[in-house]
Amino acid sequence: MSHTAPLPDPALVLTWAKEDHDSVLELTQALVRIPSRAGIDPYEAIITALSTWMRGHHLTPRILHDASGAPVAITADITGTRPGPRWVLDACLDTAPYGDETAWTHPPASGHLQDGWLWGRGSSDSKAAVAVFCHIAARLTHHAEHLHGTLTLLFDLDEHTGGFGGAKRYFHSPDAPTDVAGVMIGYPGTDHLVIGGRGVHRAQVHVRGHSSHSGGSKTTPNAIDKAAHLIRELHAERLPDPGDDFPLPGKVTVTAITAGQGYSVTPDLCTLNIDIRTTPAFDDTAAAELRIRPRCPECRLMDKAATDLRITADDHAIHLDSACPHHGTYRETIDIHGTGGWYDANTPIRSIQKGYLLAAERDTHHACPISIDGADWGGAWHAHVLAPALALLGIPPHRWPVSIFTPMILDRTGGKLSKTLYVRYGRDYTDLPGAFLDLDLLLDHHGDHALTTLWNEARRWAAEPARLHRSYTTDYLTTLLSGAPRHAGVPA
């Protein structure tokens, strides 16, 4: 490995691979024997071990840190003397947890070699790839004068948490390279190269019950029972079939359950970790229809997709950890006792919260709760979002709030008059009359009586059920406001 020569032919590369075999195995064993379970073990030991090896083989390792100062990746460059693109060899240096250690044939940190197999957590995912990539880079350091561009090693220390902090730090930081032509990921298997792969979306779900003595005369909602029902529903959920251009289906797996203490208390909290593998037909939007989104405390920017959000809970608070592209990681805390914290829930969660609180007010105020919403909140939304959620929360149907749905106002495409589309397209949105998009124009064109006219129309909806259970077009309202005679077929 100490000579300098032009880049060799493939046969010589294969010879080098065979020569490096024992060294690759030795480095893999050494890395496996250093626990690096994501979110469990400190990473200093494995960082030191790998960095020492790299420096001893003419590589210059660099440790990447996140906004909090925690190490999230090790990287190194082999820069050629000729211009060209950057290629990244990527593998994770952290591992999954050990699980039941008594079920292992050999201890998970043994690095035991038997009958041609290497035993230990990380031996395949993916410390072997780290060792292979290090040896490839070490070989190429002696051929830099013949290389076009840059070869980069990137070893993520935050992959198995679902945070991918190393990759994000490398590719999305202010000093991120702009010349990356491609990324090759080291993963188990030598049968063929895989181009592309399923995406990853991870969620942590907190299911709540009501704490009580398990031997009491009354049975209260059990968080574990409710979580078990949710798990069965997730298992039975039919995901979109794979397409011709992407052969793998999406996948949803519950990977951890935390709940309960002792024997005599009905658990009031059950936490589920859910690993979701996404595809073009089952993307992150479909994978996480329910989201909670905190804002960056510096610039108030919100990650609408909630891709960086992690939700955790302790005895006194719920913590929402997210990341801002400008100000790094941040945390919002919701005090369970209601004394502080702030968060913003998206539409499905707000709808469920409202339904739950209205149902609770039946007892609080001894009254019948009534929810008045637009027609788009009925039908499929009520059947597939609100009703299942209230059932899961343990509220029987006869205690749900009464729902009254008002008429839908349709734009000129036949779709619901949409605030979202107006914000996106402004006055170009479906060629609507300007008065429907700007209150000043409405009053300028039709006078103050316009609001009275609309109010009187709404009162007619309440007085005459036939008018309530239908939709109205913007052209109908335009005619109503102008006072012009209605077209034939339009009820008076």
Domains of the chain, residue spans: 10-185, 199-346, 347-406, 409-482
What's residue 64's pLDDT? 95
Cα separation, 385 vs 468, in Å, equals: 23
**Of 264 and 299, the one with more pLDDT:** 264
Radius of gyration (C-alpha) of the chain in whole angstroms = 30
Tokens linked to 406: 């008002």
Which architecture does CATH list for 199-346? 2-Layer Sandwich (3.30)
Cα separation, 336 vs 314, in Å, equals: 9
What's residue 324's pLDDT? 86
What's residue 71's pLDDT? 94
Distances (CA, A) of 319 to 204, 310, 476: 12, 8, 49
Per the listing, tokens 């597939």 go with: 384
Bridging pattern class, strands 82-92 and 148-156: parallel
Beta partners for residue 75, in sequence order: 62, 154
Tokens linked to 260: 């309960």
The neighbour count for residue 200, using CB atoms within 10 Å, is 15
What's residue 290's pLDDT? 46
| pLDDT above 60: residue 25 | yes
Across the chain, mean pLDDT equals 84
In the three-class reduction of DSSP (H, G, I as helix; E, B as strand; rest coil), residue 450 is classed as helix
Tokens linked to 104: 């292992």
Confidence of residue 253 (pLDDT cuts 50, 70, 90): very high
Share of the chain above pLDDT 90, in %: 32
Which residues have C-beta within 8 Å of that of residue 451, sequence separation ≥ 6? none
What's residue 319's pLDDT? 78
What's residue 2's pLDDT? 39
Confidence of residue 152 (pLDDT cuts 50, 70, 90): very high
**Beta strands, E only, 107-171:** 113-114, 117-118, 148-156
In the three-class reduction of DSSP (H, G, I as helix; E, B as strand; rest coil), residue 416 is classed as strand
| pLDDT above 50: residue 36 | yes
Which architecture does CATH list for 10-185? 3-Layer(aba) Sandwich (3.40)
Confidence of residue 488 (pLDDT cuts 50, 70, 90): very low
Nearest to 50, CA basis, from 27, 23, 20: 27
Q: Span 228-233, mean pLDDT?
A: 82
| pLDDT above 70: residue 481 | yes
What's residue 7's pLDDT? 56
Q: Span 148-162, mean pLDDT?
A: 92
Share of the chain above pLDDT 70, in %: 87
| pLDDT above 90: residue 74 | yes
Distances (CA, A) of 16 to 12, 24, 177, 325, 334: 6, 12, 30, 42, 57
* Least trusted range by pLDDT, from 131-145, 246-260, 305-319, 404-418: 305-319
| pLDDT above 80: residue 224 | yes
Q: Span 30-41, mean pLDDT?
A: 95
Q: Is 147 left (phi over 0), alpha (psi -120 to 50) or beta?
A: beta
The answer to whether 477 and 408 have CB atoms below 8 angstroms apart is no
Q: pLDDT, tens digit, for every residue of 347-388?
A: 788 888 888 989 888 888 888 888 888 888 887 888 888 888
The neighbour count for residue 247, using CB atoms within 10 Å, is 8
Rounded to 10°, the helix 10-32/127-140 angle is 130
**Of 116 and 189, the one with more pLDDT:** 116
Could you check whether 10-185 and 199-346 share the same CATH topology?
A: no
